[in-house]
Chains A and B, each alone.
Chain A
Amino acid sequence: MDIEVTESGLDAAPSTPRHPLGRRALLGVGLGGAAMSLLPFLSGRASATTPVEESTTTGVTTPPQRPTDPDVELLAVVQQVELTALALYNEALALSGWTDEHAVVITFIRQAHLAYGQSLSGLLGRRAPGVRSEQLFDELRGDFAGSVESVLAAAYALEASLAVTHGEVLAELQGTDAAALIASIQMNEARFGTVLADMAGMTDEADLLVEADAESLAGKV
Protein backbone atom coordinates (compact mmCIF):
# COMPACT_ATOMS: atom_id res chain seq x y z
CA MET A 1 0.00 0.00 0.00
CA ASP A 2 1.28 3.45 -0.92
CA ILE A 3 1.50 6.15 1.65
CA GLU A 4 0.13 9.40 0.36
CA VAL A 5 1.91 12.52 1.47
CA THR A 6 -0.16 15.63 0.97
CA GLU A 7 2.14 18.14 2.66
CA SER A 8 5.05 19.62 0.81
CA GLY A 9 8.47 18.98 2.19
CA LEU A 10 8.78 22.64 3.17
CA ASP A 11 5.61 22.55 5.24
CA ALA A 12 6.24 19.16 6.65
CA ALA A 13 9.82 19.85 7.68
CA PRO A 14 10.34 20.72 11.32
CA SER A 15 10.84 24.40 12.03
CA THR A 16 14.47 25.29 12.18
CA PRO A 17 16.23 28.55 13.06
CA ARG A 18 17.11 28.87 9.40
CA HIS A 19 13.72 29.89 8.01
CA PRO A 20 11.39 31.17 10.72
CA LEU A 21 9.36 34.34 10.39
CA GLY A 22 11.28 36.59 12.75
CA ARG A 23 10.26 39.68 14.72
CA ARG A 24 11.78 42.08 12.23
CA ALA A 25 10.09 40.41 9.31
CA LEU A 26 6.78 40.49 11.11
CA LEU A 27 7.30 44.17 11.86
CA GLY A 28 8.04 44.84 8.23
CA VAL A 29 5.01 42.98 6.95
CA GLY A 30 2.85 44.76 9.51
CA LEU A 31 4.10 48.16 8.44
CA GLY A 32 3.41 47.32 4.84
CA GLY A 33 -0.12 46.19 5.60
CA ALA A 34 -0.81 49.28 7.67
CA ALA A 35 0.42 51.52 4.88
CA MET A 36 -1.83 49.75 2.37
CA SER A 37 -4.87 50.08 4.60
CA LEU A 38 -4.25 53.80 4.99
CA LEU A 39 -4.02 54.34 1.27
CA PRO A 40 -7.70 55.00 0.56
CA PHE A 41 -7.96 57.29 3.57
CA LEU A 42 -4.92 59.31 2.57
CA SER A 43 -5.92 59.65 -1.02
CA GLY A 44 -9.48 60.66 -0.13
CA ARG A 45 -10.85 58.80 -3.13
CA ALA A 46 -12.63 55.88 -1.49
CA SER A 47 -14.19 54.76 1.73
CA ALA A 48 -14.51 51.31 3.26
CA THR A 49 -17.74 52.08 5.10
CA THR A 50 -21.11 53.40 4.04
CA PRO A 51 -21.42 57.05 4.95
CA VAL A 52 -23.95 57.75 7.67
CA GLU A 53 -26.69 60.02 6.44
CA GLU A 54 -28.56 62.35 8.66
CA SER A 55 -32.04 61.10 9.36
CA THR A 56 -34.99 63.32 8.58
CA THR A 57 -36.34 64.97 11.68
CA THR A 58 -40.11 64.81 11.74
CA GLY A 59 -40.66 66.49 15.06
CA VAL A 60 -42.57 63.44 16.34
CA THR A 61 -41.16 61.48 19.24
CA THR A 62 -40.63 57.81 18.46
CA PRO A 63 -42.86 55.79 20.78
CA PRO A 64 -41.21 53.26 23.10
CA GLN A 65 -41.38 49.61 22.19
CA ARG A 66 -41.66 48.23 25.71
CA PRO A 67 -44.54 49.19 28.03
CA THR A 68 -44.01 52.31 30.12
CA ASP A 69 -44.95 52.38 33.81
CA PRO A 70 -48.42 53.81 33.11
CA ASP A 71 -48.80 51.16 30.38
CA VAL A 72 -48.09 48.45 32.92
CA GLU A 73 -50.93 49.64 35.13
CA LEU A 74 -53.35 49.62 32.19
CA LEU A 75 -52.21 46.20 31.00
CA ALA A 76 -52.57 44.76 34.49
CA VAL A 77 -56.23 45.77 34.46
CA VAL A 78 -56.66 44.24 31.01
CA GLN A 79 -55.17 40.97 32.18
CA GLN A 80 -57.53 40.82 35.13
CA VAL A 81 -60.46 41.42 32.79
CA GLU A 82 -59.28 38.66 30.45
CA LEU A 83 -58.83 36.18 33.28
CA THR A 84 -62.29 37.07 34.54
CA ALA A 85 -63.66 36.31 31.07
CA LEU A 86 -61.83 32.98 31.18
CA ALA A 87 -63.46 32.13 34.49
CA LEU A 88 -66.88 33.13 33.18
CA TYR A 89 -66.53 30.85 30.15
CA ASN A 90 -65.52 28.05 32.50
CA GLU A 91 -68.85 28.58 34.23
CA ALA A 92 -70.61 28.55 30.87
CA LEU A 93 -68.98 25.32 29.75
CA ALA A 94 -70.06 23.63 32.96
CA LEU A 95 -73.66 23.96 31.78
CA SER A 96 -75.36 21.11 30.01
CA GLY A 97 -77.39 21.74 26.89
CA TRP A 98 -74.67 22.88 24.49
CA THR A 99 -74.75 21.36 21.03
CA ASP A 100 -71.47 19.86 19.85
CA GLU A 101 -71.02 22.71 17.40
CA HIS A 102 -71.62 25.40 20.02
CA ALA A 103 -69.44 23.67 22.59
CA VAL A 104 -66.53 23.76 20.14
CA VAL A 105 -67.00 27.50 19.61
CA ILE A 106 -67.38 28.35 23.31
CA THR A 107 -64.28 26.28 24.07
CA PHE A 108 -62.40 28.12 21.33
CA ILE A 109 -63.39 31.49 22.81
CA ARG A 110 -62.49 30.30 26.30
CA GLN A 111 -59.06 29.20 25.07
CA ALA A 112 -58.61 32.54 23.32
CA HIS A 113 -59.15 34.44 26.57
CA LEU A 114 -56.65 32.16 28.27
CA ALA A 115 -54.16 32.92 25.50
CA TYR A 116 -54.76 36.66 25.93
CA GLY A 117 -54.10 36.45 29.67
CA GLN A 118 -50.93 34.46 29.07
CA SER A 119 -49.71 36.88 26.41
CA LEU A 120 -50.17 39.76 28.81
CA SER A 121 -48.20 37.82 31.41
CA GLY A 122 -45.40 37.52 28.89
CA LEU A 123 -45.46 41.27 28.36
CA LEU A 124 -45.72 42.26 32.02
CA GLY A 125 -43.41 39.68 33.56
CA ARG A 126 -43.38 39.81 37.35
CA ARG A 127 -45.69 42.80 37.35
CA ALA A 128 -48.56 40.77 35.92
CA PRO A 129 -51.36 40.34 38.48
CA GLY A 130 -52.09 36.83 37.19
CA VAL A 131 -55.51 36.68 38.87
CA ARG A 132 -59.05 37.49 37.84
CA SER A 133 -61.07 40.37 39.25
CA GLU A 134 -63.31 38.86 41.92
CA GLN A 135 -65.48 41.96 41.89
CA LEU A 136 -66.18 41.71 38.17
CA PHE A 137 -66.55 37.94 38.31
CA ASP A 138 -69.14 38.14 41.07
CA GLU A 139 -71.04 40.79 39.14
CA LEU A 140 -71.28 38.74 35.93
CA ARG A 141 -71.25 35.18 37.23
CA GLY A 142 -75.03 34.91 37.49
CA ASP A 143 -75.43 35.75 33.80
CA PHE A 144 -73.21 32.83 32.84
CA ALA A 145 -75.05 30.25 34.91
CA GLY A 146 -78.53 30.27 33.36
CA SER A 147 -79.76 28.64 30.19
CA VAL A 148 -77.70 28.31 27.03
CA GLU A 149 -79.67 31.16 25.45
CA SER A 150 -79.06 33.51 28.36
CA VAL A 151 -75.37 32.58 28.45
CA LEU A 152 -75.03 33.37 24.75
CA ALA A 153 -76.62 36.75 25.36
CA ALA A 154 -74.33 37.39 28.34
CA ALA A 155 -71.26 36.34 26.36
CA TYR A 156 -72.33 38.62 23.50
CA ALA A 157 -72.55 41.57 25.91
CA LEU A 158 -69.25 40.63 27.55
CA GLU A 159 -67.36 40.52 24.24
CA ALA A 160 -68.85 43.88 23.22
CA SER A 161 -67.68 45.38 26.52
CA LEU A 162 -64.24 43.83 26.14
CA ALA A 163 -63.85 45.40 22.69
CA VAL A 164 -64.76 48.80 24.15
CA THR A 165 -62.38 48.28 27.07
CA HIS A 166 -59.48 47.50 24.75
CA GLY A 167 -60.30 50.55 22.65
CA GLU A 168 -60.06 52.76 25.74
CA VAL A 169 -56.78 51.20 26.78
CA LEU A 170 -55.36 51.47 23.27
CA ALA A 171 -55.96 55.21 23.28
CA GLU A 172 -53.67 55.49 26.32
CA LEU A 173 -50.91 52.98 25.65
CA GLN A 174 -47.53 54.37 24.66
CA GLY A 175 -45.50 51.19 24.02
CA THR A 176 -45.89 49.69 20.57
CA ASP A 177 -45.50 46.06 21.70
CA ALA A 178 -48.43 46.38 24.06
CA ALA A 179 -50.49 48.34 21.54
CA ALA A 180 -49.99 45.64 18.89
CA LEU A 181 -51.03 42.91 21.33
CA ILE A 182 -54.11 44.75 22.52
CA ALA A 183 -55.12 45.49 18.92
CA SER A 184 -54.91 41.83 17.96
CA ILE A 185 -57.01 40.90 21.02
CA GLN A 186 -59.55 43.63 20.37
CA MET A 187 -59.98 42.57 16.75
CA ASN A 188 -60.92 39.02 17.69
CA GLU A 189 -63.14 39.91 20.60
CA ALA A 190 -65.07 42.23 18.30
CA ARG A 191 -65.57 39.32 15.90
CA PHE A 192 -66.57 36.96 18.72
CA GLY A 193 -69.59 39.24 19.20
CA THR A 194 -70.74 38.54 15.65
CA VAL A 195 -70.21 34.82 16.11
CA LEU A 196 -72.17 34.76 19.36
CA ALA A 197 -74.98 36.79 17.80
CA ASP A 198 -75.28 34.28 14.98
CA MET A 199 -75.19 31.38 17.42
CA ALA A 200 -77.98 33.04 19.41
CA GLY A 201 -80.08 33.24 16.27
CA MET A 202 -79.87 37.02 15.83
CA THR A 203 -80.39 38.04 12.22
CA ASP A 204 -80.63 41.81 12.43
CA GLU A 205 -77.62 43.47 10.84
CA ALA A 206 -77.16 45.90 13.74
CA ASP A 207 -77.03 42.98 16.18
CA LEU A 208 -74.60 41.02 14.05
CA LEU A 209 -72.33 44.04 13.76
CA VAL A 210 -72.64 44.77 17.51
CA GLU A 211 -73.69 48.36 16.94
CA ALA A 212 -75.30 48.87 20.35
CA ASP A 213 -73.26 50.87 22.84
CA ALA A 214 -71.35 48.79 25.33
CA GLU A 215 -69.80 49.75 28.64
CA SER A 216 -66.09 49.56 29.40
CA LEU A 217 -65.06 47.11 32.09
CA ALA A 218 -61.89 48.98 33.04
CA GLY A 219 -63.56 50.77 35.96
CA LYS A 220 -65.13 47.62 37.35
CA VAL A 221 -61.98 45.70 38.20
Chain B
Amino acid sequence: MNNELLPFDDSMVLGRRGLFRLGGLTAATALIAAACGTTEAGPVGRIGVGAGVPKLADAVVNDGVLLRTMAGIETSIANAYTHILEKGYLTGSSPTLPALGDLSALVKSFHDHHINSAERFNTLAVDAGETAWECGNSRLDSAYLAVIFDRVENGVAATDATKAIEPSDDPTRDMANLVFTLESMSASSSQALVQQLHVPPARAEAMQLGIRSGRHASVIALRIHPGGYVPGALSAAATAETTTTAGQDGAAPPPTPIPLPDAVPGQFGLLSPTIFIGGAGDENGVRLKLNFETPSLNSLSYPFDVCPEG
Protein backbone atom coordinates (compact mmCIF):
# COMPACT_ATOMS: atom_id res chain seq x y z
CA MET B 1 0.00 0.00 0.00
CA ASN B 2 0.99 3.56 -0.36
CA ASN B 3 -0.43 6.80 0.70
CA GLU B 4 -1.30 8.21 -2.72
CA LEU B 5 -4.86 9.46 -3.05
CA LEU B 6 -7.07 8.24 -5.88
CA PRO B 7 -7.38 10.59 -8.86
CA PHE B 8 -10.45 12.82 -8.73
CA ASP B 9 -12.78 12.78 -11.76
CA ASP B 10 -14.79 15.99 -12.22
CA SER B 11 -17.21 14.36 -14.67
CA MET B 12 -18.57 12.06 -11.91
CA VAL B 13 -19.96 14.91 -9.79
CA LEU B 14 -23.72 15.28 -9.65
CA GLY B 15 -24.37 19.00 -9.57
CA ARG B 16 -27.19 20.87 -7.89
CA ARG B 17 -29.18 21.14 -11.07
CA GLY B 18 -28.61 17.48 -11.80
CA LEU B 19 -29.96 16.52 -8.40
CA PHE B 20 -32.97 18.77 -8.86
CA ARG B 21 -33.70 17.22 -12.24
CA LEU B 22 -33.38 13.74 -10.72
CA GLY B 23 -35.82 14.62 -7.93
CA GLY B 24 -38.37 16.00 -10.34
CA LEU B 25 -38.07 12.98 -12.58
CA THR B 26 -38.63 10.66 -9.62
CA ALA B 27 -41.73 12.55 -8.54
CA ALA B 28 -43.18 12.47 -12.03
CA THR B 29 -42.50 8.75 -12.37
CA ALA B 30 -44.16 8.07 -9.03
CA LEU B 31 -47.27 10.02 -9.97
CA ILE B 32 -47.59 8.20 -13.30
CA ALA B 33 -47.19 4.83 -11.58
CA ALA B 34 -49.79 5.76 -8.98
CA ALA B 35 -52.27 6.91 -11.61
CA CYS B 36 -51.90 3.67 -13.55
CA GLY B 37 -51.95 1.39 -10.49
CA THR B 38 -55.68 0.76 -10.20
CA THR B 39 -55.83 -2.55 -11.99
CA GLU B 40 -57.30 -5.35 -9.85
CA ALA B 41 -55.79 -8.78 -10.38
CA GLY B 42 -58.95 -10.60 -9.28
CA PRO B 43 -59.10 -14.08 -7.82
CA VAL B 44 -56.71 -16.75 -8.92
CA GLY B 45 -58.34 -18.98 -11.50
CA ARG B 46 -58.68 -22.70 -10.94
CA ILE B 47 -59.26 -25.73 -13.05
CA GLY B 48 -62.22 -27.94 -12.30
CA VAL B 49 -64.63 -27.70 -9.39
CA GLY B 50 -63.42 -27.96 -5.81
CA ALA B 51 -64.50 -26.91 -2.37
CA GLY B 52 -63.87 -23.31 -1.48
CA VAL B 53 -61.50 -22.29 1.26
CA PRO B 54 -63.32 -22.90 4.53
CA LYS B 55 -63.66 -19.98 6.92
CA LEU B 56 -62.44 -21.03 10.34
CA ALA B 57 -64.53 -20.13 13.34
CA ASP B 58 -63.19 -17.46 15.67
CA ALA B 59 -61.20 -18.93 18.54
CA VAL B 60 -62.88 -16.85 21.23
CA VAL B 61 -61.41 -17.18 24.72
CA ASN B 62 -63.88 -16.10 27.36
CA ASP B 63 -64.93 -17.17 30.84
CA GLY B 64 -67.20 -19.87 29.48
CA VAL B 65 -64.45 -21.42 27.37
CA LEU B 66 -61.98 -21.37 30.26
CA LEU B 67 -64.46 -22.90 32.67
CA ARG B 68 -65.59 -25.69 30.37
CA THR B 69 -61.95 -26.44 29.62
CA MET B 70 -61.45 -26.96 33.34
CA ALA B 71 -64.50 -29.24 33.36
CA GLY B 72 -62.82 -31.32 30.64
CA ILE B 73 -59.56 -31.49 32.58
CA GLU B 74 -61.33 -32.62 35.73
CA THR B 75 -63.19 -35.27 33.72
CA SER B 76 -59.93 -36.48 32.18
CA ILE B 77 -58.40 -36.82 35.62
CA ALA B 78 -61.41 -38.77 36.88
CA ASN B 79 -61.25 -41.04 33.82
CA ALA B 80 -57.55 -41.65 34.41
CA TYR B 81 -58.26 -42.64 38.00
CA THR B 82 -60.97 -45.00 36.83
CA HIS B 83 -58.44 -46.69 34.57
CA ILE B 84 -55.83 -46.85 37.34
CA LEU B 85 -58.31 -48.32 39.82
CA GLU B 86 -59.69 -50.84 37.35
CA LYS B 87 -56.20 -52.11 36.60
CA GLY B 88 -55.48 -52.45 40.31
CA TYR B 89 -52.16 -50.65 40.12
CA LEU B 90 -52.55 -49.01 43.52
CA THR B 91 -53.30 -52.18 45.45
CA GLY B 92 -49.97 -53.77 44.58
CA SER B 93 -46.68 -53.25 46.32
CA SER B 94 -44.02 -51.00 44.91
CA PRO B 95 -40.41 -52.22 44.98
CA THR B 96 -39.26 -48.61 44.76
CA LEU B 97 -41.63 -47.26 47.42
CA PRO B 98 -42.18 -50.12 49.90
CA ALA B 99 -43.99 -47.89 52.43
CA LEU B 100 -46.56 -46.67 49.94
CA GLY B 101 -49.40 -48.95 51.01
CA ASP B 102 -52.76 -49.35 49.30
CA LEU B 103 -53.87 -46.04 47.79
CA SER B 104 -57.07 -47.32 46.19
CA ALA B 105 -59.56 -45.88 48.69
CA LEU B 106 -57.77 -42.54 48.72
CA VAL B 107 -57.70 -42.25 44.94
CA LYS B 108 -61.35 -43.33 44.74
CA SER B 109 -62.26 -40.34 46.90
CA PHE B 110 -60.07 -38.13 44.69
CA HIS B 111 -61.97 -39.49 41.68
CA ASP B 112 -65.31 -38.50 43.22
CA HIS B 113 -64.01 -35.02 43.94
CA HIS B 114 -62.97 -34.52 40.33
CA ILE B 115 -66.36 -35.69 39.06
CA ASN B 116 -67.94 -33.12 41.37
CA SER B 117 -65.46 -30.45 40.24
CA ALA B 118 -66.29 -31.10 36.58
CA GLU B 119 -69.98 -30.62 37.32
CA ARG B 120 -69.36 -27.38 39.17
CA PHE B 121 -67.10 -26.02 36.45
CA ASN B 122 -69.74 -26.89 33.88
CA THR B 123 -72.38 -25.09 35.92
CA LEU B 124 -70.15 -22.01 36.00
CA ALA B 125 -69.53 -22.33 32.24
CA VAL B 126 -73.26 -22.44 31.54
CA ASP B 127 -73.75 -19.41 33.78
CA ALA B 128 -71.11 -17.67 31.70
CA GLY B 129 -73.05 -18.37 28.51
CA GLU B 130 -71.31 -21.48 27.16
CA THR B 131 -72.48 -25.05 26.84
CA ALA B 132 -71.23 -27.71 29.23
CA TRP B 133 -68.24 -29.88 28.27
CA GLU B 134 -69.18 -33.40 29.19
CA CYS B 135 -66.09 -35.35 28.17
CA GLY B 136 -62.38 -35.29 28.91
CA ASN B 137 -59.93 -32.73 27.59
CA SER B 138 -58.89 -34.02 24.18
CA ARG B 139 -55.29 -32.85 24.35
CA LEU B 140 -54.68 -34.07 27.88
CA ASP B 141 -56.16 -37.45 26.97
CA SER B 142 -54.28 -37.99 23.72
CA ALA B 143 -50.94 -36.28 24.27
CA TYR B 144 -50.35 -37.13 27.91
CA LEU B 145 -52.52 -39.76 29.59
CA ALA B 146 -52.74 -42.21 26.69
CA VAL B 147 -48.99 -41.90 26.15
CA ILE B 148 -48.20 -42.62 29.79
CA PHE B 149 -50.55 -45.60 30.08
CA ASP B 150 -49.17 -47.06 26.87
CA ARG B 151 -45.56 -46.65 27.94
CA VAL B 152 -46.15 -48.05 31.42
CA GLU B 153 -48.34 -50.97 30.35
CA ASN B 154 -46.89 -51.94 26.99
CA GLY B 155 -43.51 -50.32 26.64
CA VAL B 156 -42.36 -49.47 23.13
CA ALA B 157 -41.77 -51.92 20.28
CA ALA B 158 -38.35 -52.09 18.67
CA THR B 159 -37.71 -50.24 15.43
CA ASP B 160 -34.89 -50.42 12.89
CA ALA B 161 -33.04 -47.77 14.83
CA THR B 162 -33.94 -48.42 18.46
CA LYS B 163 -34.30 -51.34 20.79
CA ALA B 164 -37.61 -52.19 22.40
CA ILE B 165 -38.50 -50.58 25.72
CA GLU B 166 -39.96 -52.90 28.30
CA PRO B 167 -43.17 -52.16 30.23
CA SER B 168 -42.63 -50.27 33.48
CA ASP B 169 -40.39 -51.81 36.09
CA ASP B 170 -42.75 -50.46 38.80
CA PRO B 171 -46.28 -49.54 37.62
CA THR B 172 -47.47 -48.82 41.17
CA ARG B 173 -44.76 -46.19 41.61
CA ASP B 174 -45.59 -44.67 38.23
CA MET B 175 -49.32 -44.49 38.92
CA ALA B 176 -48.78 -42.96 42.36
CA ASN B 177 -46.54 -40.34 40.76
CA LEU B 178 -49.15 -39.78 38.06
CA VAL B 179 -51.81 -39.14 40.71
CA PHE B 180 -49.53 -36.56 42.34
CA THR B 181 -48.87 -34.97 38.96
CA LEU B 182 -52.54 -34.76 38.03
CA GLU B 183 -53.56 -33.32 41.40
CA SER B 184 -50.79 -30.72 41.16
CA MET B 185 -51.87 -29.81 37.64
CA SER B 186 -55.51 -29.52 38.69
CA ALA B 187 -54.52 -27.21 41.54
CA SER B 188 -52.29 -24.99 39.43
CA SER B 189 -54.87 -24.88 36.61
CA SER B 190 -57.53 -23.58 38.99
CA GLN B 191 -55.07 -21.06 40.35
CA ALA B 192 -54.13 -19.92 36.85
CA LEU B 193 -57.82 -19.44 36.08
CA VAL B 194 -58.13 -16.73 38.74
CA GLN B 195 -56.14 -14.23 36.71
CA GLN B 196 -58.15 -14.92 33.56
CA LEU B 197 -61.74 -14.94 34.78
CA HIS B 198 -63.73 -11.73 34.74
CA VAL B 199 -66.14 -12.48 37.57
CA PRO B 200 -64.77 -12.53 41.15
CA PRO B 201 -67.24 -15.11 42.55
CA ALA B 202 -66.26 -17.53 39.77
CA ARG B 203 -62.59 -17.04 40.70
CA ALA B 204 -63.35 -17.90 44.33
CA GLU B 205 -65.34 -20.95 43.27
CA ALA B 206 -62.51 -22.16 41.03
CA MET B 207 -60.04 -21.78 43.87
CA GLN B 208 -62.34 -23.61 46.25
CA LEU B 209 -62.09 -26.60 43.92
CA GLY B 210 -58.39 -26.00 43.28
CA ILE B 211 -57.28 -25.96 46.90
CA ARG B 212 -58.98 -29.31 47.39
CA SER B 213 -56.81 -30.70 44.59
CA GLY B 214 -53.80 -29.03 46.18
CA ARG B 215 -54.51 -30.83 49.44
CA HIS B 216 -54.87 -34.09 47.51
CA ALA B 217 -51.43 -33.47 46.03
CA SER B 218 -49.98 -32.90 49.49
CA VAL B 219 -51.55 -36.07 50.89
CA ILE B 220 -50.31 -38.25 48.06
CA ALA B 221 -46.86 -36.61 48.21
CA LEU B 222 -46.59 -37.56 51.87
CA ARG B 223 -47.54 -41.16 51.04
CA ILE B 224 -44.87 -41.32 48.35
CA HIS B 225 -42.31 -39.36 50.35
CA PRO B 226 -43.06 -39.60 54.09
CA GLY B 227 -41.67 -36.57 55.89
CA GLY B 228 -41.24 -34.61 52.67
CA TYR B 229 -43.24 -31.67 53.96
CA VAL B 230 -41.36 -28.82 52.33
CA PRO B 231 -38.25 -28.55 50.16
CA GLY B 232 -35.21 -29.15 52.31
CA ALA B 233 -37.10 -30.71 55.21
CA LEU B 234 -35.20 -33.46 56.95
CA SER B 235 -36.70 -36.88 56.44
CA ALA B 236 -35.78 -40.51 56.57
CA ALA B 237 -36.54 -40.79 52.90
CA ALA B 238 -34.20 -37.98 51.95
CA THR B 239 -31.37 -40.39 51.46
CA ALA B 240 -33.43 -42.27 48.88
CA GLU B 241 -33.78 -39.19 46.70
CA THR B 242 -33.12 -41.17 43.55
CA THR B 243 -34.34 -44.58 42.63
CA THR B 244 -31.23 -45.77 40.86
CA THR B 245 -27.56 -46.38 41.33
CA ALA B 246 -24.69 -45.75 38.97
CA GLY B 247 -24.11 -48.50 36.43
CA GLN B 248 -21.01 -50.65 36.51
CA ASP B 249 -18.64 -51.06 33.58
CA GLY B 250 -20.42 -52.96 30.85
CA ALA B 251 -23.76 -52.81 32.66
CA ALA B 252 -26.82 -51.08 31.26
CA PRO B 253 -26.89 -47.35 31.95
CA PRO B 254 -28.88 -46.38 35.05
CA PRO B 255 -32.45 -45.25 34.37
CA THR B 256 -33.48 -41.63 34.81
CA PRO B 257 -33.84 -40.79 38.50
CA ILE B 258 -37.37 -40.04 39.66
CA PRO B 259 -37.40 -37.17 42.16
CA LEU B 260 -39.59 -37.56 45.23
CA PRO B 261 -42.38 -34.98 45.59
CA ASP B 262 -42.81 -32.52 48.46
CA ALA B 263 -46.16 -31.76 50.09
CA VAL B 264 -45.65 -28.01 49.64
CA PRO B 265 -43.21 -27.39 46.79
CA GLY B 266 -42.77 -23.62 47.25
CA GLN B 267 -43.66 -20.61 49.38
CA PHE B 268 -46.41 -19.54 46.96
CA GLY B 269 -48.79 -21.67 44.95
CA LEU B 270 -46.95 -22.68 41.79
CA LEU B 271 -48.08 -22.23 38.20
CA SER B 272 -45.03 -23.96 36.76
CA PRO B 273 -45.36 -27.31 34.98
CA THR B 274 -45.42 -30.49 37.02
CA ILE B 275 -43.00 -33.04 35.65
CA PHE B 276 -43.92 -36.69 35.35
CA ILE B 277 -41.09 -39.20 34.94
CA GLY B 278 -41.96 -42.86 34.66
CA GLY B 279 -41.90 -46.09 32.73
CA ALA B 280 -38.88 -48.27 32.12
CA GLY B 281 -35.76 -46.68 30.72
CA ASP B 282 -34.82 -47.07 27.08
CA GLU B 283 -31.47 -48.50 25.94
CA ASN B 284 -29.82 -45.37 27.34
CA GLY B 285 -31.78 -45.52 30.57
CA VAL B 286 -34.03 -42.60 29.63
CA ARG B 287 -37.53 -42.85 31.06
CA LEU B 288 -40.64 -41.13 29.70
CA LYS B 289 -40.70 -37.48 30.83
CA LEU B 290 -43.68 -35.16 30.31
CA ASN B 291 -44.44 -31.65 31.54
CA PHE B 292 -48.03 -31.19 32.68
CA GLU B 293 -48.92 -27.53 32.23
CA THR B 294 -51.91 -25.34 32.94
CA PRO B 295 -54.34 -25.04 29.98
CA SER B 296 -53.31 -22.80 27.15
CA LEU B 297 -54.53 -21.92 23.68
CA ASN B 298 -53.84 -25.38 22.25
CA SER B 299 -55.80 -27.21 24.94
CA LEU B 300 -58.89 -25.02 25.40
CA SER B 301 -62.38 -26.30 24.63
CA TYR B 302 -63.52 -23.63 22.18
CA PRO B 303 -67.20 -23.05 21.31
CA PHE B 304 -66.73 -24.86 17.99
CA ASP B 305 -65.14 -27.93 19.65
CA VAL B 306 -67.30 -30.94 20.34
CA CYS B 307 -66.67 -34.07 22.34
CA PRO B 308 -65.29 -36.93 20.23
CA GLU B 309 -67.83 -39.66 19.61
CA GLY B 310 -67.46 -42.78 21.68
Is B268's CB under 8 angstroms from A185's CB? Answer: yes
B38 near A: Cβ within 8 Å? yes
B227 near A: Cβ within 8 Å? yes
Report chain A residues within 8 Å CB of B222: 194-195, 198
- Given the interface pairs A4-B1, A5-B3, A186-B207, the reply to whether A39 lies near B34 with Cβ below 8 Å is yes
A176, B198: Cα distance in complex, Å: 9
- The segment from B42-50, B137-145, B212-220, B280-288 that touches chain A is B212-220
Report chain B residues within 8 Å CB of A213: none
- Of all chain A residues, the one with the shortest Cβ separation from B217 is A191
Looking at chain B, what size class is its interface with the partner chain? 35 or more
A186, B268: Cα distance in complex, Å: 9
- Given the interface pairs A32-B27, A208-B215, the reply to whether A173 lies near B200 with Cβ below 8 Å is yes
Looking at chain A, what size class is its interface with the partner chain? 35 or more
Q: Within the complex, what minimum Cβ distance (angstroms) separates A66 from chain B?
A: 13
- Of all chain A residues, the one with the shortest Cβ separation from B16 is A22
Report chain B residues within 8 Å CB of A95: none
Q: Within the complex, what minimum Cβ distance (angstroms) separates A37 from chain B?
A: 9
Is A32's CB under 8 angstroms from B22's CB? Answer: yes
Is A31's CB under 8 angstroms from B27's CB? Answer: yes
Report chain A residues within 8 Å CB of B15: 25
A157 near B: Cβ within 8 Å? no
- Given the interface pairs A29-B23, A32-B27, the reply to whether A9 lies near B194 with Cβ below 8 Å is no
- Of all chain B residues, the one with the shortest Cβ separation from A209 is B215
- Pick the contact of B19: A12, A29, A61, A101 (CB < 8 A): A29
Q: How many A-B residue pairs have CB under 8 A?
A: 218
Report chain B residues within 8 Å CB of A112: 267-268
Is A187's CB under 8 angstroms from B60's CB? Answer: no
- Of all chain A residues, the one with the shortest Cβ separation from B31 is A35
- Of all chain B residues, the one with the shortest Cβ separation from A25 is B19
Chain B residues 5 to 41 lying within 8 A of chain A, measured CB to CB, are 5-8, 13-27, 29-31, 33-35, 37-38
Is B227's CB under 8 angstroms from A101's CB? Answer: yes
- The segment from B171-179, B232-240, B241-249 that touches chain A is B232-240
A96 near B: Cβ within 8 Å? no
- Given the interface pairs A61-B198, A104-B233, A108-B230, the reply to whether A163 lies near B267 with Cβ below 8 Å is no
A111, B230: Cα distance in complex, Å: 12
Is A187's CB under 8 angstroms from B269's CB? Answer: yes
Q: Which residues of B contact A (CB under 8 A)?
A: 1-3, 5-8, 13-27, 29-31, 33-35, 37-38, 58, 60, 62-63, 106, 109, 187, 191, 194-195, 198-201, 203-204, 207-208, 210-212, 214-219, 222, 227, 229-230, 232-235, 263-264, 266-269, 271
